[in-house]
Amino acid sequence: MRIALAVLRRDRRSQVATVLVALGVMIAVSLVLWLLAAPNGLQARADRTAWRDVLGQSQKGPISVAVNKDSFDGKLIERFDVARNQQGDVPVAKGIGKFPEAGQVLLSPALAELVRGTPAEKLGNRFPGTQVGVLGPEALKYPDELVAIIGHDKVESGYQAAGLEGGSGSYRDDYHGMLYLLTRVGLVVLVVPCLVLVASAARLTAAKRERRLAALRLAGASPRQVVIMTAVETAVGAVVGSVLGVVLAQPFSHITAKIPWEGGTWYPGDFGASPAVVVAVAVLAPVLVIAAAIMGLRRVVNRPLAAEEKRRVRSWRLLMIAGAMGVFFLGIMYAQEASGDGQFTVVLLGLGAVAFALVLAGPVLTAWVGRFFVGRWSRPSTLLAGRRLSGDPVAAFRGSAGVVIAVFTGSMALTMLPGLESQVPYRDETWKTDAIVAEDVGHDVTSLRLATSAPIVTMLDGTVSTGKENDYGPYVIVGKCADVSQVLNGLTCQEGPAVYTSGKFNGDQFKSNARDNAVTAKLPAQYETRPFAGYGRISGVIDPELLPGVEGKVSMVGVPTTAENRDAVHTALIGTLPGVRLVDGELRGLYGDTLMDDLQRATIIGLSIAAVLGGIGAAVSAAGSVIDRRRTFGALIAAGTPIRVLGHALRREVMLPVFAVTIAACGAGIVVGLGLLTLARGLVGHGEMPLTPWVLAPVAVGMVVALVAALACGPVLRGISPRDYAAE
């Protein structure tokens, strides 16, 4: 221990290495704590909004609740229309002051402020009644969320529930588990670069340390003494870096709370890892760094005279990629069949295995590249680089490992993103863009006609089938063609009653989709069929004259709007038909835009972090390789080699393996991305799997990052002189 501390006090290169180890561990610890806090943030949101999961509660209860989304001025609104079914206390979650009775309203603070500053006919009338309180932070997803709970005498389209109770929510169910999967993927692919960075920091000045310890072994030091020297020397920087990383994680979490997700930012306390996790990471990080340093001493401990030998790599490492891919796709197949918390475990293990396999296989490709340039090139700088790559591929590749993982992550993300975009629920082409349609209408629409001067289109939705069990048939609309064409896309009307469809129906039995008291009718034996070019959910339109007995029955109401009256019509529909679900192009577009913005923002942040980590790791390793070979460079300079040639050789040492291995990493990223996209597509049940030229962009970015990192070793190289060779 005294020798190790003496080295740290007097050897400048060991001091520089210790500082770099501390910085690497600090960055890794702070990032890992941040990544581990992300699921906690999502869980905190889920717990605060657990009271909204009324659909999962008992179908018999003292209240009825209709859950709907609304929008205004480009903002999403969550609204809950509630009504009592029986007298008695109704349990409510923390943050909800009381259950609103008929004629009472609870609004979130942001929505209450928005209502006060907006004309009532555009927004306030959507929430009829007296505001009796505001929702507290404990009941909101994020600080500026727009939420309303409106009390009614009766809710036609609601579900019965025991109350608006809180509890422990599950963010895993958010959008069919897709976001749950993506957060886990991000956790894995960003933890791996952190580990690579820590390993790179731990291996700084490894060659010089091995020579020193080998000399001590030959002088009589025991293996235990050599191990203790290494542990002490490494622990100083690792422990300091771990402490700084824990301290840095706190302000980092407050910055993260400003990043929007699902439409809003976070409460400050959301992003915080549990004390047990903080302690575990703070202790584990130095232990891993020390273990990595000690594991590199096997040759010194067992064969001190072999300390100068270069490590040889075996081609079997390439088989690790095939094995990891096999585990990954086995996980995909398992996840498609399984469910529950362990659904994606094997997938994530396979994903991490692929990333580590790329790191393990990198030295093999590096050695091949080195042999190629040694055998076929004559430029001095390229020959020097080739000799280094082929002579010690493990050390030469070490600086490229982080960049390779960044390219793998980027290719995977850019493969998935276009496919996920096609799976996000944007507005479909069923209804016209200026139409607002109310579904599940069980109300008398007379009051709606009085509330707005806009034309009202009444419709009845249902299916046409053979009437046999399990034959549900195509989804159709019953309504006057001239009226329905005002709100429905692809409908061109002609005189006289007819059925408008893209193909003849197989059956003649119509049944409405009403939850209670469904209406049935039979099409005549002969009727005229006309073309219908709709691209959405509706397969046909039937004039009501062809279905006797359905006259006057209404389950849907559509209203064509203009830019001037859209908000007023929207407000009139909600105010007169409480609890109905509105299909609004703006609303669906906002929901889809919010999800895509989240995915794009998460991708940009994740790729930026991966690129920065890869660049830092490459720069640290490149600088460390110069420090390790100070004697060699001093000898070359003493022999007359220009600094410019050595600089070119160092840059080629970094760039050549990066170019070779990133091509493989890009291919692996594309394959893994397609696998994850297949899984996500299975979760939502639709979507495309497109590939774009952008999947190759990470290779170019990786080359740029590697070049910038290689330039970092220039100042270290310029500090070497022939005196360094004499001193050695």
Report the range of poorest mean pLDDT among 65-79, 668-682, 714-728. Answer: 714-728
In this prediction, residue 689 carries a pLDDT of 55
Report yes or no: 245 and 279 within 8 Å, Cβ to Cβ. Answer: no
Q: Would you state the torsion angle of the CA atoms of residues 277, 278, 283, 289, taken in this order, to the nearest 10 degrees? A: 100
Flag whether 101 is in a domain.
yes
CB burial of 48-75 (b: ≥16 within 10 Å; e: otherwise) equals bbbbbbbeebeeebbbbbbbbebbbeeb
Flag whether 653 is in a domain.
no
> Confidence class of residue 356 from pLDDT cuts 50, 70 and 90?
confident
Residues 573 and 458 in one domain: yes
- Could you say which DSSP state residue 488 is in? B
- Could you say which DSSP state residue 171 is in? G
Residues 209 and 160 in one domain: no
What is the average pLDDT across 319-347? 83
| Alpha-carbon separation of residue 174 from 225, 350, 595, 611, 637 (angstroms) | 55, 24, 11, 29, 62
In this prediction, residue 96 carries a pLDDT of 92
In this prediction, residue 307 carries a pLDDT of 52
Residues 224 and 262 in one domain: yes
Flag whether 727 is in a domain.
no
Query: Which pLDDT tens digit goes with each residue over 539-573?
Result: 999 999 999 888 888 889 999 998 888 888 888 88
What is the average pLDDT across 94-121? 92
In this prediction, residue 723 carries a pLDDT of 62
Residues 136 and 55 in one domain: yes
- Percentages of the chain per state (helix, strand, coil), in multiples of 5: 55, 10, 30
Query: Which pLDDT tens digit goes with each residue over 222-248?
Result: 778 877 887 888 888 889 999 999 998
Q: Alpha-carbon distance 152 to 140, whole Å?
A: 22
**Which strand (E) or helix (H) includes residue 431?**
none
> Confidence class of residue 299 from pLDDT cuts 50, 70 and 90?
low
pLDDT surpasses 60 at 126? yes
Using the 3D structure, point to which of 246, 280, 309 is the last residue of a domain. Answer: 309
**Which strand (E) or helix (H) includes residue 661?**
helix 643-684
pLDDT surpasses 90 at 517? no
State the distance between the two ends of the chain, measured CA to CA, in whole angstroms. Answer: 24
Residues 87 and 6 in one domain: no
Report the range of poorest mean pLDDT among 17-21, 186-190, 489-493, 562-566. Answer: 186-190
Per the structure, how many domains does the chain have? Answer: 3
In this prediction, residue 421 carries a pLDDT of 67
Residues 152 and 239 in one domain: no
Q: Alpha-carbon distance 185 to 599, whole Å?
A: 13
> Confidence class of residue 684 from pLDDT cuts 50, 70 and 90?
very low
Query: Which pLDDT tens digit goes with each residue over 147-179?
Result: 999 998 888 667 788 888 876 666 655 554 556
Report yes or no: 365 and 657 within 8 Å, Cβ to Cβ. Answer: yes
> Confidence class of residue 480 from pLDDT cuts 50, 70 and 90?
very high
Residues 134 and 223 in one domain: no
CA nearest 26: which of 602, 620, 605, 608?
Answer: 620
Q: Alpha-carbon distance 396 to 376, whole Å?
A: 20
Pairing type for strands 130-134 and 104-107 reads: parallel
- Could you say which DSSP state residue 50 is in? G
Residues 466 and 546 in one domain: yes
Q: Alpha-carbon distance 299 to 278, whole Å?
A: 35
Q: Taking all residues of the chain, what is their mean pLDDT, rounded to a whole number?
A: 81
Residues 162 and 194 in one domain: no
pLDDT surpasses 80 at 443? no
At 606, the amino acid letter reads: G
More confident residue, 303 or 631: 631
Query: Which pLDDT tens digit goes with each residue over 301-326?
Result: 666 655 555 667 788 888 889 999 99
Residues 140 and 193 in one domain: no
SS3 452: coil
More confident residue, 685 or 139: 139
Using the 3D structure, point to which of 546, 562, 584 is the last residue of a domain. Answer: 584
Residues 147 and 201 in one domain: no
Q: Which domain holds residue 275?
A: 1-33+188-309
Q: Hunting for tokens 């007995």 — which residue is that?
A: 549
| Alpha-helical runs (H) found in 219-344 | 223-256, 275-295, 298-302, 317-337
Query: Which pLDDT tens digit goes with each residue over 401-426?
Result: 888 888 888 888 888 877 766 655 55
Q: Alpha-carbon distance 172 to 341, whole Å?
A: 8
Residues 85 and 56 in one domain: yes
pLDDT surpasses 90 at 454? no
More confident residue, 43 or 725: 43
| Alpha-carbon separation of residue 312 from 119, 154, 345, 357, 393 (angstroms) | 76, 78, 34, 17, 8
In this prediction, residue 176 carries a pLDDT of 45
Q: Alpha-carbon distance 292 to 328, whole Å?
A: 27
In this prediction, residue 685 carries a pLDDT of 46
Using the 3D structure, point to which of 525, 551, 584 is the last residue of a domain. Answer: 584
